[in-house]
Chains A and B, each alone.
Chain A
Amino acid sequence: METYQIYSITSGVLFVIGMGGVFLSKHFIKKIIATIIMGSGVFLAFVSFAERDALSFADPVPQALVITGIVVAVASAAFALALARRIYQLTGEESFTIEK
């Protein structure tokens, strides 16, 4: 097994964990963290593919994409966090109540 494959497999696992977490977790913070984990899986996939045919350096394009992606994910997460905290402040709810 190549190094990149260890991590690309890990990336798949993280992605699914994250996706499951988004749907199954209840607390807002956990849902947000689950999206980050999902994102980490995606980024790990990119970077692991970057490593596989490294010349003098690993493929820089996925690395650059991942840096961009991380920043974007963090911006979204910060926003989500702001929403979660404000909701808590206004209603005292920490998770989505079952509503139709």
Chain B
Amino acid sequence: MTGLPTSPLPALLVGFPILLAILTLFFRPGVKALVGLAGCLLTALLAFIAFVEVTQRGTVIHTPGGWDPPLGILLRMDALAAVFIGMTALVGGFISLYAWRYLRAQDPATGGYPLFWPLWLFLWAGLNGLFLSNDLFNLFVTIEVISICAVALAVLSGKAGALKAGLRYLLAAITGSMAYLFGVALLYGSTGTLDLDHLGQVLEPGTTTTFALLVVTLGLLIKMAGFPFHFWLPPAHSNALAPVSALLSALVVKGAFYILLRLWMEVFGVGITYAAGQLIGLAGAIAVIWGSWQAFMQTSLKLLVAHSSVAQLGYLLMIFPLLILPPGVTADSADWLSVTWTGGVYQVISHAIAKASFFLSAGIVIMAVGHDRIESLRDLVGNMRITSMAIGLAGVSLIGLPPSGGFVGKWMLLKGILLSGQWWWAPVVVAGSLLTAGYVFMLLRLAFAPAREKEPFRPVPKTLEVVALLLAVSSFLIVFPADYLIQFLENSEIFGSGIEAVLKGGFYGND
């Protein structure tokens, strides 16, 4: 590729976790967990090294096999990829620690779900691969790796409910992948290339292009549980083991969002229409309201948190209409664009951290009281101070109250909405925040309420509580590097050509 520095790090980021994953297969269950945990921590370390590398050297690339695109595959680690990889490492690292202790406590007989470790490492590799990939088909392979791992992890408990939810999830995921791949086939048929950069240059508007982009988007929407396709998410996320729920909510669904963002910013300057953007925004808006309302109505803790994920993903969908100007309109300044997409990315990070903490805390509560009815939270403050703090902080971040990370995310989203002139999304954000506050404070209210009948809280390993709290605190601490991260993303100029195309009116500009 043109003059960008190469680095072996992208290859290592994918290869290393897989190497560890296959190594873990050789060990006895107990040792497997240790090796797996060590592997996770090493992977996290590697990811941080990679992040620093990008901050130092800017975008680095790697071409496996040494073949340049379009024939070969390009791995490109730019600021966006680095941020996502860093997020995965941060959240993943904490969850690994939690999982190590949690699984042992849950299932001492078989050594704590030994399959968790190879699957999680594979999942990690898949996520890294997805963030790095610059090739449409390679993206398909990585999302398949992710889907299979995710579903396998989700059914790890082996309970009937989890299996059913898992099958639903898997079928949705396969359908999504196939829809995505159909779009890729059409794009390849039209352009003869799979490389994203190349595609952005040669793609021409037309029925095929528009249809392909829509099918790709549809597939990815199914994968990220966008509104009408959210049906699989709540059962799958709520039936999984706590660390798995955290992984699924915090990281897995974000993979599809990442591709969608990349494609919309880099490739879809031509071909996607204003109406399509509005439609996706509408889906997001409905998801925000519907998901929050559903969360509010739940009586089971994990279902509540899972529905909240549907709503929070809705916010992410709402950035897509803002990326497209109405027909016939051009713009001189891309202020609103950079606010919108960097805000979206920031929202992803803050949601990942907060939601992971939320799920981990829910896992602790369930472990302590033995069931996951919301009532179990009664007098939590009196019994488990650390966990109640974690739930409180994570909840506040989800609502988007200052000074949490969620606040900065919502701030930027709302600003993007107002700057883009599409003010009609603003009430949705407000209503969503209120509903979120509704269910978060419903939980907190119970946590403060005195216990009715004396239900004993079983003691829970301190490690778990501390990890959940650390994550919750992180969801506030990420406010401090917010400026740096956003500048880092903005200055990287990754979407330069895409933004230019949008400013010129995209599809309409070419007519």
Contacts and interface: CB of A to CB of B under 8 A. Distances in A.
Contacts of B137: 65, 68
A40 to B, nearest CB: 10
Given A46-B188, A61-B71, A86 B175 contact: no
Contacts of B133: none
B20 interface: no
Residue of B158, B170, B173, B174 most packed against chain A (CB within 10 A): B174
B503 interface: no
Contact of A79 (B152, B164, B194): B152
A31 B232 CA distance: 15
Contacts of B164: 87, 91, 93, 96
Contact of A35 (B155, B168, B178): B178
Interface residues of A, number: 37
A91 B160 CA distance: 7
Given A15-B182, A46-B185, A49-B188, A73 B174 contact: yes
A50 to B, nearest CB: 9
Q: Which applies to chain B's interface (DSSP): helix, strand, loop or mixed?
A: helix
A49 B194 CA distance: 14
Contacts of A76: 144, 147-148, 170, 173-174, 177
A58 interface: no
Nearest to A16: B182
Interface string A67-100: 0110011011101100110110011010010000
B151 interface: yes
B269 to A, nearest CB: 24
9 contacts: A8-B189, A11-B185, A19-B178, A35-B171, A35-B178, A38-B178, A61-B71, A76-B148, A86-B163
Given A32-B171, A69-B181, 20 more contacts: A18-B178, A19-B175, A19-B178, A19-B179, A38-B179, A39-B178, A42-B178, A42-B185, A45-B182, A45-B185, A45-B189, A46-B188, A49-B189, A61-B71, A65-B137, A72-B144, A73-B174, A76-B170, A79-B151, A91-B164
Shortest Cβ-Cβ A-B pairs, 8 listed: A49-B189, A45-B185, A83-B167, A90-B160, A35-B174, A38-B178, A42-B182, A42-B181
